[in-house]
Structure 1
């Protein structure tokens, strides 16, 4: 019963329901964990019980975890309650923090994670979503300087929640962008004092009451003023049209907006177009329902500096709140769209869809920050550069900090990061419009996907684009071709995703935003049709077909509809429809999986028929099944193994690392309970080991369990997660990485280090 209540409280947040645990907890990355409040007594009935949280960390990260608490309303003695290390960075729920604590947190986290590659951090507030997400995204931006704020926000939202809504409070989104801009443009935040002199609202809110504004800083109340001078605001009602736009008209409007944006920028992204389209729809509806007249409210000047909160209300209650930092005021005014108003962004009755607030200021004084350097993130930077990557003497030294640029205008730099696309027809969304975070308007993104991507019921590789210029002949070895083609499609995925994790919408963005790249890859992949399979040398069959399988999988995922989540049997059905020509023969993805990689394969419940080949095709398949295949083959789901690039020279070593990586990530041997957990799809591969008992024995041996003790262990299967996600993060450590902007030296980036799996036996 308690778990049912906890799931209800978690709502759309992902829960950690593996290996006997059921916690409101998510791995954002292998070293960053977000979770709900660790509770005791009555509260533990509907939130994370502290005892279970401690058992989790003592089981999987004993001696290597640090907990960060952001919950201002629920402080606790972390030094005595938490067995690991503990820090407290408090700020209020549904509010922004003091800007200064963001760099403080990032530096503290960096120092802890850099101290030991096994160290992990656990971030929590009360629900473990908004404030936790703000700080998670802030550190992701800090850790990877090639990352944009909206990417970190989207990534966190997808990793933490099912509906992709992680950080949704507008002021919290704003402060992530403050931090991102300061890092990217190398400036620190100083102290600017201003006087607020006037507030404008356009169009006038549908409110017939006196409006008040309460001004406060992070720590103290400043003042409260009546904007309407003790009078009620007057709103002139308009006659609303009852004619509503149809869906096809909305999509036609999107096509027009996209075409107009492309006149200015041929490479405009779906995200930018969606932002402008959404604002265009809001403007049409707002003008029709609320008109275009606005209201201006001059006020007695209020002196402000630092982090400021404005709370707008009437006698009936609050309307909306605004947070900002005075250092980022541009040309003595700030403009906030409706989507940037805490609480107000949901108000459909009083505020127009295109409502905006403009704050006007006068300068008083400016004091630049005394800090002349920004700390450089050390997490993941390698000091042991392998000789085979590059000459170690040419590796640049690792900086401890980066000098700030005193000439940077912080407000202008911020606008450069957040200004939306504009063209002569004024198809534009306002600065700071948070809808540009894909996850915050995922419904509209789905509408665009359904409108622009036509998913075929069957895809034959050479029949889709007969005009494509294909490779006519090749002298390269088959394995060399397979490696290069797989590398090509992996680059598409890395560019569209982030941090080596490509979720369903990243895969769709490949088609929407990088069609030229897809066509180039397909042209390169056509070389597989003309390879000479007779050139496959001894030991090359398995790495060749593994690479081919993952090429076809990554290619096929671009053409399969991902939502609602695809059931495994439907995925297998797609495998039978997707075909390549390889060495002159036609192979479906199902053929490669069940015939080339797994021959001989007897009929069983996992497939509906035995794959049989002609004698000519049968010459090139594997002669016997590799029992490790279950730990090597991705199905494009969150519970699948990562995708590796294989070669014959180090294939045995690569395979060993890949198997250990998968068993560390997706399996667990819990010594206290003598329970061994595997993912459900491993049932499919049990026969490769000679049955479940033999599979349990061999895989437990990898965890250090002796033959004598194996019989004491129970084998349990985790339920399969069918959500599409491709895992490529381990490739970053192999210097196979594509970033959005150049970084100093990719060979210094090593974010993942997996050791041999061991039994987890907590004392807790």
Structure 2
């Protein structure tokens, strides 16, 4: 019966070319899927679709559900979708329900396929296979997919990152036969962040080792370095700092992070050693200060400033100082820099492609990482204990900012480093 599922499709060649960098898991039922096992119960894939034309080159949602049902059993898998951007080809919840219902009708056939694969040694024999040789079913209202997304090439809000990996662990720890399927767009940046954070927290892997495990499990040798966007790596270092605390302290820090929202204000943004192009004011750098919308599918700009508003200071820098009474922001803050001119809209559009950089920061964690010492009290993280009007700063070198999309390039260098200063209120 399993042989009847082997099939060749013209779309398979297209998918093979587009998924060239990925280390895909082979299967014995004739499906061409971009799916990579990181652990036996944790896998990453590119996002699945259910309509043309994207079915020509993306994972088929139907094939993915068939694969999971045959290899892991009905009701034993959950998809975690990290995409927040909406596209016409995205699958809907009703698509999942319809596909699950279709395979419900074919349950006996799928059980026979699975039994054949077990007998042929194609898939491991589980204790349940030994006892019943049947698929394991959960309650009828089993959740197939959780949508917990944010925008591509960015880190999630820090609290969301922690929530996601805890959700995955809660699901997997309920049974040894559960599997979690993670996907974003290509199964690289967003899925990689979550995978690495999970390995760090629940398998006690150091950050470097977790990155290597993900890279080697998901990609072919030499094709990519995995998670490389500086802000995503910054948030993984926040995570590294966070999990060094005891579990009870982690919960307290998470609670305090909520209190810290709008408890700081930006005080100053400085360009250290700005380029002659900028310092001479022959061009303008636009700085946008942003954070996520509630649904994390768009960015909200809270403040826009221009380099011709900045004052020259001693020590070869340009700075903008904020008023004392405004621009208190969420913890997770994005600052974006683009090159342009106010003289011509056409020239401005062209120049915007000449240079681009941005960064994300979680101000609460940046503050904690600066104040913690070996002799810090056990409750050092409490917002009420933070010194009112305390002044803090961080310096980020130009090359350590995010570039165009997932690329490391930034174009023309606008300054040597960014200095960001903030105060608690």
State whether TM-score is above 0.5.
Answer: yes
**TM-score, normalization by structure 1:** 0.37
Matches of 1:109 and 1:180, distance apart in 2: 18
Deviations 1:569-603 (A, max 9, x none): xxxxxxxxxxxxxxxxxxxxxxxxxxxxxxxxxxx
Shift of 1:80: 4.9
Counterpart pick for 1:306 among 331, 353, 374: 331
Secondary structure of 2:309's aligned partner: coil
Instruction: Give the TM-score normalised by the residue count of structure 2.
Output: 0.65
Inter-partner Cα distance in structure 1 for 2:424 and 2:194: 31
Match of 1:136 in 2: 195
* Counterparts of 1:348 and 1:50, CA distance in 2: 36
Task: Considering fraction of residues, name the structure with more strand.
Answer: 2
Residues in 2 aligned to 1:119 and 1:212: alpha-carbon distance in whole angstroms: 48
**Residue number among 136, 159, 162 corresponding to 1:103 in the alignment:** 162
| Superposed counterparts of 1:180-259, under 5 Å | 180-186=240-246, 187=250, 188-189=253-254, 190=257, 191-192=259-260, 193-205=263-275, 207-208=277-278, 209-219=283-293, 220-229=300-309
Aligned to 1:90: 149
Alignment of 1:580-619 (within 5 A): none
Matched, 1:66 2:78: yes
Q: Deviations over 1:533-578 (max 9, x none)?
A: xxxxxxxxxxxxxxxxxxxxxxxxxxxxxxxxxxxxxxxxxxxxxx
Secondary structure (helix, strand or coil) at the match of 2:329 reads strand
Is 1:116 paired with 2:138? Answer: no
Comparing both chains, which one has the higher relative contact order based on Cα–Cα distances under 8 Å and sequence gaps of 6 or more? 2
1:81 aligns with 96
The separation in 2 between residues aligned to 1:127 and 1:87, in whole angstroms, is 18
**Secondary structure, counterpart of 1:184 in structure 2:** coil
Asked if the contact 1:156/1:166 (under 8 Å) is kept, the reply is yes
CA 1:168/1:206 → structure 2, altered by over 3 Å: closer, same or farther?
A: farther
Cα distance change of structure 1 residues 169 and 206 upon mapping to structure 2, 3 Å threshold = farther
- Cα RMSD (Å) of the superposition? 2.5
Is the contact between residue 50 and residue 95 of structure 2 (CA under 8 Å) also seen in structure 1? no
Which of 196, 210, 217 pairs up with 1:159? 217
Q: CA deviation at 1:349?
A: 4.8
Q: Tell me the CA shift for residue 218 of structure 1.
A: 1.4
> Aligned to 1:320, which of 357, 368, 376?
357
Number of residue-to-residue matches in the alignment: 302
Partner residue in 2 for 1:672: none
Match of 1:49 among 38, 51, 60: 60
State the distance in 1 between where 2:177 and 2:32 align. Answer: 23
Q: Structure 1 residue aligned with 2:184, among 107, 120, 125?
A: 125
CA distance in 2, matches of 1:123, 1:319: 30
Unaligned stretches of 5+ in structure 2?
1-9, 101-142, 294-299, 341-350, 371-390
2:15–2:56 CA contact under 8 A, matched in 1: yes
d(CA) in 2 for partners of 1:347 and 1:114?
41
- 2:48/2:64 contact within 8 Å kept: yes
- Match of 1:173? 233
Give the direction of change, closer, same or farther, for the CA distance of 1:323–1:15 in structure 2 (3 Å limit).
same
Contact 2:35 2:44 in 1 (8 A): yes
Q: 1:98 to 1:212 in 2, by over 3 A?
A: same
Distance 2:49 2:22 in 1: 17
Ranges in structure 1 where 5+ consecutive residues have no aligned partner: 234-292, 365-764
1:178 to partner: Cα distance: 1.3
Tell me, in whole angstroms, the C-alpha distance in 2 between the residues paired with 1:363 and 1:114: 40
* Cα offset, 1:358, TM superposition: 1.6
Does the C-alpha gap of structure 1 residues 203 and 102 become closer, same or farther in structure 2, counting only changes over 3 Å?
Answer: same
CA displacement at 1:160 relative to structure 2: 0.8
Where in structure 2 are the equivalents of 1:211-610 lying within 5 Å?
211-219=285-293, 220-229=300-309, 294-301=316-323, 302-315=327-340, 316-317=351-352, 319-329=356-366, 330=370, 332-343=392-403, 346-347=408-409, 349-351=411-413, 355-364=416-425
* Cα gap change, 1:14 to 1:338, in 2 (>3 Å): farther
| Counterpart contact for 1:158–1:164, Cα < 8 Å | no
Q: Distance in 1 between matches of 2:14 and 2:273?
A: 43
> Residue by residue, what CA displacement relative to the aligned partner does 1:463-493 show, whole Å, maximum 9, x if unpaired?
xxxxxxxxxxxxxxxxxxxxxxxxxxxxxxx
